[in-house]
A and B are shown apart, each in its own frame.
Chain A
Amino acid sequence: GIQVEQSPPDLILQEGANSTLRCNFSDSVNNLQWFHQNPWGQLINLFYIPSGTKQNGRLSATTVATERYSLLYISSSQTTDSGVYFCAVRMGQKVTFGTGTKLQVIP
């Protein structure tokens, strides 16, 4: 099956810093989503981004499908950004999640 790798696995940031999270995938995919799992366990959609670039406030994402990677940018990080960030890719109806990047933003 398809392999999805995320890096870094863990990240600690000072509040206000910027960061880039990466998601590599091993095969062509129909779509790619980024999620944030907050410290209470809830999974929140961030982006549906099979290709190109999208922005939503302090977050933006870029997917280069031909090179099989996606990047999530977090600017001016806040403590509420803490949690685990997952990318998930779909081939057909099967969805594969990466193992996530655990982000801790400290005041």
Chain B
Amino acid sequence: NAGVTQTPKFRVLKTGQSMTLLCAQDMNHEYMYWYRQDPGMGLRLIHYSVGEGTTAKGEVPDGYNVSRLKKQNFLLGLESAAPSQTSVYFCASSWGDTQYFGPGTRLTVL
């Protein structure tokens, strides 16, 4: 099992550009999450999904959209990137109460 994987690992964007981050899990988990981590801070929940076709807002959803068209994939989109979205993005999945995290995507917006 690969667990939770994230694509890409690194990305540099210019202000106003768009991009999609892909999270994939092979554990058949129902729940998936997107977080961002800023320097010196814990993780903050952006959006989450409790099953295929469902999404919900977390703590800091503004500027992001998500889709869960397939159970194993959870996509995070930035329609018009801003420097404030420079961060490390983590995806997680869970079945029950234990979350398993991907390796992260480091995004820089210039």
Instruction: Spell out A's residues near B (CB within 8 Å).
Output: 1, 4, 30-31, 33, 35, 41-43, 45, 48, 50, 86, 88, 90, 93-100
Report the tally of A-B residue pairs with Cβ distances under 8 A.
53
**Are the CB atoms of B59 and A41 closer together than 8 Å?**
no
CA A12 – CA B101 in complex, angstroms?
26
**Are the CB atoms of A33 and B98 closer together than 8 Å?**
yes
User: Which label, helix, strand, loop or mixed, suits the secondary structure of the A interface?
Assistant: strand
Nearest A residue to B44 via CB reads A97
Q: How far is the CB of A29 from chain B (nearest CB, A)?
A: 11
Which one, B45, B101, B104, contacts A96 given CB within 8 A?
B45
Instruction: Spell out B's residues near A (CB within 8 Å).
Output: 31, 33, 35, 40-45, 48, 50, 56, 58-59, 88, 90, 92, 97-101, 103-104
**Are the CB atoms of B44 and A43 closer together than 8 Å?**
no
Contacts of B40 in A (CB 8 A): 99
**Are the CB atoms of A45 and B98 closer together than 8 Å?**
yes
